[in-house]
Amino acid sequence: MDRLNDKRIVAGVTVVAVMVGAAAMFFLNKRNRTSLTSRSTLQPAYEQAIAQIKQKFEVPTDYIQRIKEGMESEFKLGLSKPTGEKPSSIKMLPSFIDRIPTGHETGISYALDIGGSNLRTMKLELDGHGKVKTILIRKSSISHELQTGDADALFDFIAASIGDVVDETAESNNFGFTFSFPVDQTDVSSGKLIKWTKGFQTKNVEGQDVVELLNNALERSGIRAKVTVLINDTVGTLISSAYDPSDGETVAGVILGTGTNASYIESKANIEKLETGEKEGVMVINTEWGNFDSPAYSVLEPTEFDLTIDKNSPNFSCQHFEKMVSGMYLGEIVRLALVDFAEAGFFSHRNSSYILTPYRFGTEFMSEIERDDTMQLIHVDAFLKRIDINNTSYQERKLLKELCHAVALRSARLVSGAIAAIVDRMGKKDTKSVVAIDGALFEHYPGYAGHIEQGLKEIGYNNVVLKLIKEGSGYGAAIAANVMSSTE
């Protein structure tokens, strides 16, 4: 805790220094607004503030290295038999997926994907050359009534949407089910819901096997289909990428969206905690890396804004890595910093609801802001007007853009350390390997992928290919159902 207190003191001193420097600038800035066409020069107080932002969110190469080493030792601990001593912050859940597709698999396969309130069912065809063709896709949303009602009603609804896509005359209708809620899995086709998240409260589901509930509902409705594989979105992303080996061998599946998580391929011999005697071959491990360095921070270096987010969150002292990395939080970090800058006189829009309301400033706003390369940041100006922040000065816009850049850059560099940990764990540092990534943060944030690559290079990882995977959570489930049901 001493380190944290020190940090807080340093942060406090910084804020005071910034405030003193800023008081005069505030009035100057108000009187002296640059027009959108005039030449852009940065006032010294803003230059100083931007330098402090950069410093606060900086991730030097040795910090990336420490993330890599810290993650690796937690991976090891998470795979070992629990000793009753300090448990790993990373769960390392066995997925029971122990066959990796080659791209040669063929046939019709089905997927059910429940990521939140949206549900998708798909009929897909694997072409045997690494490509998946969508034959049918149905999307529906799970109503508030179903989210708060009884299990049977919810699972009957899901069964009906499966009924919409299956071929009743086919010999077997095997479904892969991607269920993005925390489940306790004991084999590939069953898993108990630990706890509902994302607003769901459907009764009599927690503690139950969701696959069994669904297969029972299918039977009740006389629908000839069966869920044979249960996975999460990271595993789906990995499997989906592995099916198309044209870019190289896939070693991991990463999610960088609302949250962050990763899965990778581990040798069974290394999964000490696995109770089965089998030690040959491999198995996909769902790391749950978002919880890295929790409950206490010992590797991550949180700012005062990160500590505020953690303190005010419903899951205090959990998911520390996720809270510094993923889409749900980056915008909130920027908002908290803006509140501080407003108090110090650097940002004169403190009454905007986007600045006042927690989580109202989304990570997608940061993307918009960073995309502007004009001299006077005119697109930032136009964008801010759309969210009711009018009459910003160039100084304010530049400060905001640099803040967004620093927060996103930190996120990507932390991720580079985590990816290196997986690559190293698999002994693939010197071989070309594909890391499959899904999620809006990775897909849409300008420069984000490049920042991860740069971080990897700095610590000597030059052979990692970052590959964007879309639809991985659906396709991956269907491919996994095909691979796991084959009798070879």
Per CB under 6 A, residues contacting ligand ADP are 115, 257-258, 327-328, 362-364, 367, 439-441, 444-445
Q: Output 66 or 360, the one with its CB closest to ligand ADP.
A: 360
Minimum distance of ligand ADP from residue 413's CB (angstroms):
16
Minimum distance of ligand ADP from residue 258's CB (angstroms):
4
Task: State the Cα–Cα distance between residues 237 and 246, nearest whole angstrom.
Answer: 16
Q: Which does residue 345 touch among ligand ADP, Mg ion, none (CB within 5 to 8 A, set by kind)?
A: none
Q: Which does residue 362 touch among Mg ion, ligand ADP, none (CB within 5 to 8 A, set by kind)?
A: ligand ADP
Q: Which does residue 394 touch among Mg ion, ligand ADP, none (CB within 5 to 8 A, set by kind)?
A: none
Q: Which does residue 364 touch among Mg ion, ligand ADP, none (CB within 5 to 8 A, set by kind)?
A: ligand ADP
Minimum distance of Mg ion from residue 153's CB (angstroms):
25
Task: State the Cα–Cα distance between residues 9 and 3, nearest whole angstrom.
Answer: 10
**Nearest of 425, 348, 476 to residue 79 by alpha carbon:** 425
Q: Which does residue 367 touch among Mg ion, ligand ADP, none (CB within 5 to 8 A, set by kind)?
A: ligand ADP
Q: Output 42 or 440, the one with its CB closest to ligand ADP.
A: 440
Q: Output 173 or 326, the one with its CB closest to Mg ion.
A: 326
Q: Output 18 or 142, the one with its CB closest to Mg ion.
A: 142
Which single residue brings its beta carbon nearest to Mg ion?
257
Q: Output 377 or 408, the one with its CB closest to ligand ADP.
A: 408
Minimum distance of ligand ADP from residue 140's CB (angstroms):
17
Minimum distance of Mg ion from residue 443's CB (angstroms):
10
Q: Output 255 or 377, the one with its CB closest to Mg ion.
A: 255
Sign of CA dihedral 121, 478, 258, 204: positive
Instruction: Supply angle C-alpha 191, 193, 195, rounded to 5.
Output: 155
Which single residue brings its beta carbon nearest to ligand ADP?
257
Q: Which does residue 21 touch among ligand ADP, Mg ion, none (CB within 5 to 8 A, set by kind)?
A: none
Minimum distance of Mg ion from residue 51's CB (angstroms):
36
Q: Output 46 or 475, the one with its CB closest to ligand ADP.
A: 475
Q: Which does residue 261 touch among ligand ADP, Mg ion, none (CB within 5 to 8 A, set by kind)?
A: none
Q: Output 225 or 437, the one with its CB closest to Mg ion.
A: 437
Minimum distance of ligand ADP from residue 486's CB (angstroms):
29
Q: Which of residues 228-287 bind Mg ion (CB under 5 A)?
A: 257
Minimum distance of ligand ADP from residue 326's CB (angstroms):
7
Q: Which does residue 15 touch among ligand ADP, Mg ion, none (CB within 5 to 8 A, set by kind)?
A: none
Task: State the Cα–Cα distance between residues 34 and 449, nearest whole angstrom.
Answer: 34
Number of residues located near Mg ion, criterion CB under 5 A:
1
Minimum distance of ligand ADP from residue 448's CB (angstroms):
8
Minimum distance of ligand ADP from residue 380's CB (angstroms):
15
Which residues have a Cβ under 8 Å from the Cβ of 168 and sit 6 or more positions away? 223, 224
Q: Output 38 or 118, the one with its CB closest to ligand ADP.
A: 118
Q: Which does residue 414 touch among Mg ion, ligand ADP, none (CB within 5 to 8 A, set by kind)?
A: none
Q: Output 105 or 233, the one with its CB closest to Mg ion.
A: 233
Minimum distance of ligand ADP from residue 320's CB (angstroms):
17
Q: Output 345 or 439, the one with its CB closest to ligand ADP.
A: 439
Q: Which does residue 363 touch among ligand ADP, Mg ion, none (CB within 5 to 8 A, set by kind)?
A: ligand ADP
Q: What is the 3-state secondary structure of the chain? A: CHHHHHHHHHHHHHHHHHHHHHHHHHHHHHHCCCCCCCCCCCCHHHHHHHHHHHHHCCCCHHHHHHHHHHHHHHHHHHHCCCCCCCCCCCCCEECCCCCCCCCCCEEEEEEEEECCCEEEEEEEEEECCCCEEEEEEEEEECCHHHHHCEHHHHHHHHHHHHHCCCCCCCCCCEEEEEECCCEEEEECCEEEECCCCCCCCCECCCCCEHHHHHHHHHHHCCCCCEEEEEECHHHHHHHHHHCCHHHCEEEEEEEECCCEEEEEEEEHHHCCCCCCCCCCCEEEEECCHHHCCCCCCCCCCCCHHHHHHHHHCCCCCCCHHHHHHCHHHHHHHHHHHHHHHHHCCCCCCCCCHHHHCCCCCCHHHHHHHHCCCCCCCHHHHHHHHHCCCCCCCHHHHHHHHHHHHHHHHHHHHHHHHHHHHHHHHCCCCCCCEEEEEECHHHHHCCCHHHHHHHHHHHCCCCCEEEEECCCHHHHHHHHHHHHHHCCC
Tell me which residues touch Mg ion (CB under 5 A): 257
